[in-house]
């Protein structure tokens, strides 16, 4: 998965301030753990 590595590399470079890094982090957590873990309340 070179895409994830590239995104993470960019975030560490200085993109951490951008909202993109936040989205990437959320996606990573979602992939690692189940969705109900997030306090979104979208899933019943």
Whole-number Cα distances in Å, 34 to 2, 5, 22, 24, 31: 23, 22, 18, 16, 7
Q: What is the pLDDT of residue 11?
A: 47
| pLDDT per residue as tens digits for the range 3-43 | 555 555 544 444 445 555 555 555 555 555 555 555 655 55
DSSP 18: S
Element (H, E) at 7: helix 2-13
The reported pTM is 0.16
Q: What is the pLDDT of residue 1?
A: 45
């Amino acid at each position: 998965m070179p895409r994830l590595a590239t995104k993470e590399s960019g975030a560490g470079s200085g993109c951490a301030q951008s909202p993109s890094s936040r989205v990437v982090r959320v996606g990573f957590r979602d992939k690692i753990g189940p969705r109900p873990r997030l306090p979104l309340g979208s899933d019943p």
